[in-house]
Each structure stands twice: as structure tokens, then as C-alpha cells.
Amino acid sequence: MSLAAAILAATIASSPVVTTSDAVCSINGYNADTDMNGTNLRAAPDAKAPVLYRLKPEIEPEDNYGAEFEVIGSKNGWLLIRNAMSGQYGDGNGKIVFKGPGWISGSLVGFTINDSNMRSGPSSHAKVVARLEGDNGEGGVWGPDSFSVTRVYGCSGDFADVSGVTPTKKTYRGWVTKLCGNQRTTCP
């Protein structure tokens, strides 16, 4: 074991992970951070909390991909994740690189949306505040999978509170569902 690995192991052992969250959820997402040095996964929902792991992007000849993971909770703009998987593209033999749990900033998480209704709350009965579809201004149309998520504020059940921008440069914030953590498809 290298000295750096030994220091990291000692830090993790002395840093219990805070697993108390404001909300419980069950969604999938991916690391949208492009930092080739990796994204810090922390022991608590705080930028000063100890780093548990650095989640590095997967480099492919055509593109780079972030690890995909389960989101199980949220607190103060941070998401509690587990089972971060890398290597699912390329040869297709994905492996869990971080079992978790750990915290990631909501500004570094992405997913594809498969429901056009952006709502005022985490319920299919909440008021629709925006429709994520329309004319793209170039003779075509766009749908919810073209909405670019720029930040995830929290989650509840299978909903996420997000902000983002449409292909026509309109910005919205609200609750969305039917989320896909796969970066090559929009999921079923």
C-alpha cells in the first residue's frame, strides 16, 4: 500500500460518514464534474468535511463519462450517494468504485429527465410550473431529455429539485421525475 493510500485509509477510518439527511430518495444520477483529478465525495454535506474518495471520470476515445450512482438522500444542496460505478461504457464491464455512502455537491450531479412536467413540489399532483418541451427555433422540437440540469438542490422519493436551461436558453427551477442516470441513453 502506498503512503497516499495509507493516509487516505486512516482518514476514512477516523471520519464517520454522516448519513442523516433532510429527505430520503431513490433516484440515479451521474458525476457531471469534468475535473480529471476527480470529484470529492465527503463524509458530511459540507465542503470542509473530510474527503472519503475522489471519483474520477472514465476516459473513452470518443468522450468522457462520470461514474453513475444511486442517490439516497439530500441535505442543504448535497446528495448522499452509494454504489458509484465506473467502466460501464467502453468494454461494458462496470465495477463499483465507491460503495459509500458519501456526499457530493448537487452542482456536480447530472441525469436525463423523461417527464415533460416540471412541478412545484415532489408529487405528481403538484402544480406544473414549466413544460420541458417545445420548438427549438430551428425547425425542430426538444423534449425533457434536452433540458440541461445545472444544479440539483435536493430530492424526495423519485423526484429531484433542479435548475437548468432549455435548448432555447430559458432557465427553470422545479421538481422533476422519471430520471435516468445513464449518459448514453434516456432509459426506458
Give the start-to-end residue ranges of the domains of the chain. 3-110, 112-180
Tens of pLDDT, residues 158-173? 999 999 999 999 999 9
Which of 100, 89, 97 is CA-nearest to residue 21?
100
Distance CA 51, CA 37 (A): 13
* Mean pLDDT score, 82-96: 77
Q: Which three cell numbers stand for residue 148?
A: 440541461
% of the chain beyond a pLDDT of 90: 63
Q: What's the pLDDT at 10?
A: 43
pLDDT classification of 61: cutoffs 50, 70, 90:
low
Cα torsion angle, 157, 162, 68, 96, sign: negative
Tens of pLDDT, residues 128-159? 999 999 987 777 889 999 999 999 999 999 99
Q: What's the pLDDT at 58?
A: 75
Report which of residues 13 and 112 the model is more confident about. Answer: 112
Task: Share the mean pLDDT of the chain.
Answer: 86
- Ramachandran sector of residue 139 (left: φ over 0; alpha: ψ -120 to 50; beta: rest): left
Residue 83's SS3 state is strand
